Amino acid sequence: MAITITTEMIKQLREATGAGILDCRKALEQANGDMKAALDFLREKGLATAAKRAGRNASEGIIELYNHGNGRVGVMVEVNCETDFVGRSEAFRTLAHEIALQIAAASPLYITETDIPAEVLEHEGKIASAKAMEEGKKEAIIPKIVEGALKKFKDETVLVNQVYIRDESLTVQSLINEKIAALGENIVVRRFARWGLGETTSELGEE
């Protein structure tokens, strides 16, 4: 029996591979909805560019500076690629600028989910659990409620999970994956800092 291929399934495969919508749909149809088999199909066809390039070293790139609202918000973000040639390209620099715009508009706290401290997730989970109990939810469904609350927290605070401000059908990671596919190099957001007048500094970096 054929499995219905949903938009969410296509979106997940796109984020994992950087492949196009039609290629992802075809791969999922060939694999009858099996995500791992679909990923293997794309790799065999040479379409899973983001997945193949994720392990490559990226130490070139740009530090993009962005000023918004007549000096009320400032962003500094380091975006890396593999070669100086790509780092100087208009497409790569446009991507870095778009990421800076995203940070200014959406105020992420972390780059990836792995950057979130365990104690922060524990704290958010406790808040969600206490709220659910206060609202009289059945104990059996509270873990699911907490899981949903943590997913929402990650989607709102993690840069690569955020919905791209110019296109709600894409996440920031999808946007990056598209550029990885187009430019043929691994691309990594290394660190960023966002300043807003009267706000606490939001900053994240790698040693």
Q: How many residues does the chain have?
A: 207
Q: Give the CATH class of 117-156.
A: mainly alpha
Fold (CATH) for 60-112+158-204: Tetrahydropterin Synthase; Chain A (3.30.479)
Residue 140 DSSP one-character state = G
Q: What is the pLDDT of residues 9-27, one digit of tens each?
A: 888 887 777 677 788 888 8
Report the pLDDT value the prediction gives residue 20, as an integer from 0 to 100. 72
Q: What is the pLDDT of residues 141-172, one digit of tens each?
A: 888 888 899 999 999 999 999 999 999 988 99
Residue 188 DSSP one-character state = E
pTM over 0.75: no
Burial class for 46, CB neighbours closer than 10 Å (0-12, 13-18, 19+): exposed
Closest CA to 42 of 50, 122, 88, 82: 50
| CA–CA separation, 113 and 127 (whole Å) | 19
Q: Give the CATH class of 7-53.
A: mainly alpha
CA dihedral 41→44→45→49, nearest 10 degrees, is 90
- 85-99, 115-129, 182-196: which is most confident: 85-99
Structural domain boundaries of the chain?
A: 7-53, 60-112+158-204, 117-156
Q: What is the pLDDT of residues 46-69, one digit of tens each?
A: 655 565 566 566 778 999 999 987
Alpha-carbon torsion (28, 183, 160, 54), positive or negative: positive
Report the pLDDT value the prediction gives residue 146, as an integer from 0 to 100. 87
DSSP letters along 14-44, please?
HHHH---HHHHHHHHHHTTT-HHHHHHHHHH
Q: What is the pLDDT of residues 171-181, one digit of tens each?
A: 999 899 888 88
Report the pLDDT value the prediction gives residue 206, as an integer from 0 to 100. 47
